[in-house]
């Protein structure tokens, strides 16, 4: 008589569900890690899967801080000096446009960056000039020359929130923001205009017309290609965008930009018609005497 053997039970599947996103999950069969596979740590495999699915978990955030990213942008190679011929367009809320032409000269003196701007057209603004000395350790010095006044006028701290010759830029916007003047926080990695970016929130340590700025720093070029400006109430006030970024003379250049005032419904567009770098610009360009001679 044949003995009846006990019926062998099938191996029950044991596993873990890992929910990733809404409607998406993974099931891990933990039996795979038993028997001959028992030496394979389950959570090591889980970590590998997560890294493959979400590479951002190991990228950027822990490597660079918000301040380090802003410093890398501030210190990027933009030439020892530069010359730009600019076409500017002012657009009001009705869509009416006004054209202006201007030239910008900049020179880097280590801890001092000098900028000279002169308007060349139309006739009602031709001869207007602006001079800025950006001091890394201290407050920046700015002068505006209006032909009707016949002499340069210094822009004091209380005037930094005023419009720069009726554009959507203020005098505060006309100077490069030294990273040491703000507290920076890394927010996330994102895309702007299909370019991978770091998004950084910056809050001023000292007086500023803005409560904070949120900047999109292009990963490849380190150019800031978008800035959201927030007023003292915490509402978004203006948006700056680089709409065309390209290399000129081997240096990344913001060829087309916009500054939009959302509350005033006013827009300033700028297009670089000509860009030249490392030309050995003369010191005399960045003087008050040169302003008066325009």
Look at residue 55 in the predicted model and tell me its pLDDT. 44
Do 46 and 109 belong to one domain? no
Cβ neighbours of residue 263 closer than 8 Å, sequence gap 6 or more: 237
Tokens 């006030």 correspond to what residue? 237
Portion of the chain with pLDDT greater than 90, in percent: 71
Q: How many CB atoms sit inside 10 A of residue 215's CB?
A: 24
Task: Tell whether the model's pLDDT for residue 71 goes beyond 50.
Answer: yes
Lowest-confidence region among 60-74, 90-104, 155-169, 176-190: 60-74
State the alpha helices, DSSP H only, in 2-156: 42-53, 66-74
Do 185 and 251 belong to one domain? yes
For residue 3, being part of any structural domain is answered with: no
**Average of per-residue pLDDT across 64-91:** 97
The model's pTM is 0.78
The Cα 117–Cα 279 span in angstroms is: 17
Last residue of a domain, one of 30, 58, 86: 58
Boundaries of domain holding 279 = 66-292
Do 232 and 208 belong to one domain? yes
For residue 92, being part of any structural domain is answered with: yes
Task: Tell whether the model's pLDDT for residue 63 goes beyond 50.
Answer: yes
Q: Is 31 helix (H, G, I), strand (E, B) or coil?
A: helix
**Average of per-residue pLDDT across 241-268:** 98
Q: For residue 133, what are its two tokens?
A: 């000395």
The Cα 258–Cα 88 span in angstroms is: 10
Look at residue 174 in the predicted model and tell me its pLDDT. 94
DSSP assigned state of 163: B
Lowest-confidence region among 18-27, 65-74, 154-163, 223-232: 18-27
Do 190 and 232 belong to one domain? yes
Do 109 and 139 belong to one domain? yes
Do 113 and 171 belong to one domain? yes
Domain tally for the chain? 2
Q: Is 187 helix (H, G, I), strand (E, B) or coil?
A: strand
For residue 1, being part of any structural domain is answered with: no
Last residue of a domain, one of 24, 41, 58: 58
Residue 81 burial by Cβ neighbours in a 10 Å radius (0-12, 13-18, 19+): buried
- Is the preceding omega at residue 122 within 30 degrees of 0, hence cis? yes
**Average of per-residue pLDDT across 162-189:** 95
Task: Tell whether the model's pLDDT for residue 51 goes beyond 60.
Answer: no
Mean pLDDT of the chain: 85
Q: Do the Cβ atoms of 226 and 241 come closer than 8 Å?
A: yes
Last residue of a domain, one of 7, 23, 58: 58
Q: How many CB atoms sit inside 10 A of residue 162's CB?
A: 13
User: Using CA atoms in the order 109, 112, 113, 115, what is the torsion angle rounded to 10 degrees?
Assistant: -110
Long-range CB pairs of 8-17 (<8 Å, 24+ gap) are none
For residue 172, being part of any structural domain is answered with: yes
The Cα 82–Cα 272 span in angstroms is: 12
- Looking from the CA of 171 toward its CB, the CA atoms found within 13 Å total 21
Do 78 and 103 belong to one domain? yes
Strand intervals (E) in 74-181 = 81-91, 97-109, 112-121, 129-135, 141-145, 152-155
Whichever domain contains 104, its CATH number is: 2.50.20.10
Do 42 and 25 belong to one domain? yes
Look at residue 110 in the predicted model and tell me its pLDDT. 81
């Amino acid at each position: 008589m044949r003995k009846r053997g006990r019926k062998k039970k099938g191996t029950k599947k044991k596993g873990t569900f890992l929910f990733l996103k809404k409607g998406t999950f993974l099931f891990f069969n933990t039996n795979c890690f038993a028997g001959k596979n028992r030496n394979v740590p389950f959570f090591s495999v889980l970590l590998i899967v997560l890294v493959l699915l979400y590479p951002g978990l190991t990228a950027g955030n822990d490597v660079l801080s918000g301040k380090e990213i802003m410093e890398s942008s501030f210190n990027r190679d933009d030439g020892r000096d530069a010359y730009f011929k600019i076409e500017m367009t002012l657009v009001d809320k009705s869509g009416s446009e006004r054209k202006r032409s201007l030239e910008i000269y900049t020179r880097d003196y280590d801890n001092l960056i000098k900028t000279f701007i002169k308007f060349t057209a139309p006739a009602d603004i031709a001869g207007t000039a602006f001079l800025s000395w950006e001091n890394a350790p201290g407050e920046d010095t700015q002068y505006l020359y209006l032909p009707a006044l016949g002499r340069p006028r210094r822009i004091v701290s209380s005037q930094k929130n005023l419009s720069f010759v009726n554009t959507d830029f203020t005098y505060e916007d006309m100077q490069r923001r030294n990273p040491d003047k703000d507290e920076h926080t890394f927010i996330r990695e994102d895309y702007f205009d299909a370019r991978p970016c770091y998004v950084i929130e910056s809050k001023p340590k000292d007086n500023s017309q803005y409560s904070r700025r949120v900047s999109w720093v292009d990963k490849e070029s380190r150019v800031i290609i978008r800035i959201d400006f927030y007023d003292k109430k915490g509402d978004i006030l203006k948006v700056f965008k680089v709409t065309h970024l390209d290399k000129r003379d081997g240096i990344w250049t913001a060829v087309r930009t916009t500054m939009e005032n959302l509350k005033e419904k006013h827009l300033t567009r700028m297009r670089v018609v000509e860009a030249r770098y490392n030309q050995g610009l003369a010191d005399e360009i960045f003087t008050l005497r040169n302003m008066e001679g325009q």
